[in-house]
Structure 1
Amino acid sequence: MSTVWIGIVVMIAGCFALKYAGLSVPERLLDHPLTMRAAELIPVALLGALIAVQVIADGDTLRIDARLLGLTVAAVLLVLRVPFLPMVVTAALVAALARQI
């Protein structure tokens, strides 16, 4: 049996065990306020981390360029409660203009 197939079998077993462990969590733990609050905040934190990595990182180096300016404009427009589509278009335009300069 090749190493690839061993890896596939191990991943299948690991995924099954993880799924089974999630289904085995007691209901009282899932209904706890701290668990519910964490479940609400984790996706926001992960999305923020992904955005930060995509905007600032370039391989192993940090880059401050037009992407960061576009993200800043989007954040300001978000605070001002601008609708999503105009916010994205404006941030993209600002980033594009910054790249041209």
Structure 2
Amino acid sequence: MIADSDEEATELASGYAPWVRSIRRGEGAIPFPTPTEAAALEWTDDDRDLVRDRVLTQFVGSPTTVADQLEQLRDATGASEIAITTITHDHEARVRSYELIAKEWANR
């Protein structure tokens, strides 16, 4: 998830953990929560452990932050191509995320 700032991106991505939790608990994928909905959910230590691996491997931040992470991934793997998937509750934010990373990546 890419947004104008690291903080905004983190907020927009906040529904990812509850969404993953619903899948891993066997409940099926819930509709992707808004930041407000995600913040209202209660979490146990077991819940956090259940999703930690997925949350920690997300690339979330400003265009510079995420492009730096993508460069590190590319360099570490020797990849010649990278596919990006942005998951968020807001379609416009998702489209903006792709626009921001495309512009940043083109300038590198």
TM-score norm. by structure 1 comes to 0.32
Question: Per residue, is there more helix in 1 or in 2?
Answer: 1
Name the TM-score, length of structure 2 as normaliser: 0.31
Greater relative contact order, per chain length (Cα 8 Å cut-off, separation 6+): 2
